[in-house]
């Protein structure tokens, strides 16, 4: 088969779209190294495929990358906690405290100074804040009430003393 005929057969399109058979893929990859025309056509098709995808592109929500980052960090954290590392020196020498030595585990600590907690806690914090405000309101109310009563008591006492002195 002529190389131009091969390029025109549609095998290249089938390959870039991922529907070529294993045999076709092997043959194409061999021809790609032998013929510059095949390599050029393939590169052109790969760019076309990307261009088509670019025209159908939709911007994902702005928080998606954070979700990706969070999920990766979560997996890294959980796998790091399970990771047990021994140094070569420890492997070669007898350590009588090997079974109970917690230093065998590398302490994994995030570089960030921020703490991640469950979202449920925001409601708890909100409730604590609201309750705090309510208690503060009561405290101020009873303080003012108490002060008022003390003033009234003083007035009553002075009235009684005044009546007695008469």
Partner 1 sequence: MLKTEQHTLIQTKQERLRGIYTRHSSKLFGYIYEVVKDHKIAEDYLVKIFQDIAMQPDDRNLEAAENWMFLQRFAKNRLAVFVSSIQTCDPIDQASLKQFSGNRYLEILNEEQKRIFCDVYYHGRTIHEIAVELNQSEDLTRKILKESFAIMRRSGGN
Alpha-carbon span 78 to 18, nearest angstrom: 35
- Minimum Å distance from CB 105 to partner 1? 12
Question: What are the φ and ψ backbone dihedral angles of 59, each rounded to 5 degrees?
Answer: -70, 125
Task: Provide the binding-site residues for partner 1, judged by CB under 8 A.
Answer: 8-11, 13-14, 16-21, 45-46, 48-61, 64-65, 67-69, 71-72, 75-76, 80, 85, 106-109, 111
Which pair of tokens denotes residue 90?
A: 């420890």
Q: Which is nearer to partner 1, 35 or 49 (CB)?
A: 49
Q: How far is the CB of 90 from partner 1 (least distance, A)?
A: 13
Q: Which residues, including other chains, have CB under 8 Å from residue 79's CB and lie 6 or more apart?
A: none
Residue number with CB closer to partner 1 (73 or 146): 73
Q: Name the minimum Å distance from CB 5 to partner 1.
A: 11
Nearer to partner 1, 48 or 159 (CB): 48
Cα separation values, 116 from 24, 61, 82, 123, Å: 51, 22, 19, 15
Token pair for residue 160? 């009684």
In this complex, which beta carbon is closest to partner 1, that of residue 67 or of residue 133? 67
């Amino acid at each position: 088969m002529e190389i131009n005929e091969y390029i025109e057969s549609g095998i290249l399109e089938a390959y870039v779209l991922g529907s070529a058979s294993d045999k076709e893929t092997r043959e194409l990859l061999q021809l790609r190294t032998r013929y510059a025309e095949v390599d050029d056509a393939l590169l052109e098709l790969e760019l076309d495929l990307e261009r088509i995808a670019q025209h159908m592109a939709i911007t994902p929500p702005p928080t998606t990358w954070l979700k990706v980052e969070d999920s990766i960090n979560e997996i890294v954290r959980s796998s790091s906690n399970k990771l047990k590392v021994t140094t070569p020196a420890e492997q070669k020498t007898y350590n009588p405290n090997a079974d109970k030595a917690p230093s065998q585990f590398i302490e994994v600590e995030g570089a960030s100074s921020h703490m991640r907690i469950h979202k449920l806690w925001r409601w708890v914090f909100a409730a604590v804040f609201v309750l705090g405000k309510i208690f503060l309101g009561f405290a101020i109310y009873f303080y003012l009430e108490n002060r008022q009563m003390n003033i009234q008591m003083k007035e009553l006492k002075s009235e009684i003393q005044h009546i007695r002195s008469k």
